[in-house]
Amino acid sequence: MADIFKTVITLVSIVAIPLLIFLFLGWGFVKKVKVYEVFVEGAKDGFHTAVRIIPYLVAMLFAIGIFRASGAMELLVSLLSPVTNLIGMPAETLPMALMRPLSGSGSLGIMTELMKVHGPDSFIGVLASTMYGSTETTFYVLAVYFGSVQVKNTRHALPAGLIADLFGMLGAVFICRVLFGI
Amino acid sequence: MLNYVWIGLIVIGIFAAVGNDLKDDLRNTYRNGESLKATVLVEKTPSALQESWEGEMVIPANDFNEFYGVTSAAKEIRLPVKITTATTGESSLLLNVNTAAPEPWRTMAKNATSKDNLTGTLRSIRFEEEGKRALVEIVFEPIRFVKIRAVTQATLDYASTAVNIALGLIGIMALWLGVMKVAEEAGMIRIVTRLLTPVTKRLFPEVPPDHPAVGSIVMNLAANMLGLSNAATPMGLKAMEELNKLNPKLGTATNAMCTFLVINTSGLVLIPATAIAVRAAAGSANPGMIIGTSIFGASCATIAGLIAVKLLQRMPRFKKDDPDLQRTAEGAMRKEEANG
């Protein structure tokens, strides 16, 4: 069952992009849209959108860079580890949970390291990879998406995003303990 | 909120860096000024006249671990070394710290005067076994301010990373914005929009159900679920742009924008391809076993995020900035003025 699901989804994601391009442009052609001209017209905005994001992304990434380089993470881990022990989350995976919303490359590094040390099929390895798949890099997404429309006052987006991350991590711990728990 | 978190990251980071460096200094983590005993193996005995000679430095793992108070050295350390004797008679050493070297040497080498090399002076040198072995006592150059230097480097690196990421988006953005524009003109987006109106009406009550933003939102979510991040980001940014057209107060996020963002940051993916690839590379017997658990985790994140975003938007401190409410308030005031 799981295998069929995996095969189908993998297949869909492989053919999706050519299929979408074919459908959209083909349908446009059938509907007598001047496809080339309209495409170029739309593509023109690509440059400006990307350039508009730069200040927002610089602000966000350099703050995260300082935090990561300083070793503040170890401090936070030692502060929070009593809490995570209570819910049965191994202390080794706490840096993973804290890094996930901050940095995609950082959490990827932690996940790889945990698997190297504990093995990919150990409880810690499974939990770390589940955590990685359970949420997105909130700070990055926020900077890119809001940066593209020059939104500076983000209101409740960050707290809501962080609550989502927290529950994603708790959900990962819960399901891994139920299915592969010790 | 973002203001506090942002300045928090920076201030906590800098304080932690200073604190960690002070701790390293107090504990003398890098053993500045202390001498380490080592053996240097040479192929040919250097003559007394020779200015410099090369050899292989050997330190047993136990000696190393004891000296630095660590457990990082698993086996005997062997590294290439070059010893130079100055005219004053003082000998200095250049140790090539490669990836096989244990911590803290790699950290020390990164912060040393010459990159990937540790320099030091020799307190004593004594040849044994007909000059094939030399017993040496080394004092490495002092290593200080490791974290503060790392912070400095990180600010520069990350600032340029940000620009690279943004510039890397240009091509893919242009491609998808072009495709989306054709789809829009052909009426394709409108069809997608109409199909999913029942769902989007509940999630985005502020957005008119036939607005082009809805189509982009739906396509972004579909692309995200399939793990097509290359297509998802441009579609998501297009959706943000459309949502921004409904925004009466530019620069402030509307409720719909926050809701859309939270769905995106929760990252519901049907196949977490990156995690599976890393598991496979690490030699997992069943790399795909985390598909189900990841979907469960991401669903928890999405549901919790949606509940949070809908509850938080009612809180006074977030509600007072709501662009949609301000518009109606202003509109009401203007109407009153017109009537009066």
pLDDT in tens, B82-126: 888 887 778 888 888 888 888 888 889 888 888 788 898 888 888
Residue type, A55: P
Average pLDDT over residues B165-169: 89
Residue A42 has its nearest CB partner, among B155, B180, B247, at: B180
Q: Check if the interface score ipTM surpasses 0.95.
A: no
Distance from CA of A2 to the nearest CA of B (A): 8
Strand runs (DSSP E) across chain B, as ranges?
36-41, 52-59, 77-85, 91-96, 117-128, 133-140
CA A24, chain centre distance (Å): 28
Average pLDDT over residues A116-129: 93
The first and second tokens of residue B51, run together, are 């200015």
Distance from CA of B196 to the nearest CA of A (A): 18
Q: What is the pLDDT of residue B332?
A: 60
Selected residues 116-155 of chain A with any CB under 8 Å from a CB in chain B: 116, 119-121, 125-126, 129-138, 141-142, 144-146, 148-155
Cross-chain Cβ contact A54/B163 below 8 Å: yes
State the best of A64, A80, A149 to mutate against chain B, taking most chain B CBs within 10 Å. Answer: A149
| pLDDT tens string A6-43 | 788 778 778 888 888 898 899 999 999 999 999 999 89
Selected residues 5-44 of chain B with any CB under 8 Å from a CB in chain A: 5-6, 9-10, 12-17, 19-20
Contacts of B92 (CB under 8 A, 6+ apart): B83, B84, B86, B119, B120, B121, B122
DSSP type of residue B83: E
**Least confident residue range of A173-182, B44-53, B174-183, B227-236:** B44-53
Bridge partners, B41 (sequence order): B56, B133
pTM higher than the cut 0.90: no
Q: What is the pLDDT of residue B260?
A: 96
Residue B151 has its nearest CB partner, among A66, A120, A149, at: A66
Selected residues 212-241 of chain B with any CB under 8 Å from a CB in chain A: 223, 226-228, 230-231, 233-234, 236-237, 240-241
Residue B297 has its nearest CB partner, among A3, A39, A133, at: A133
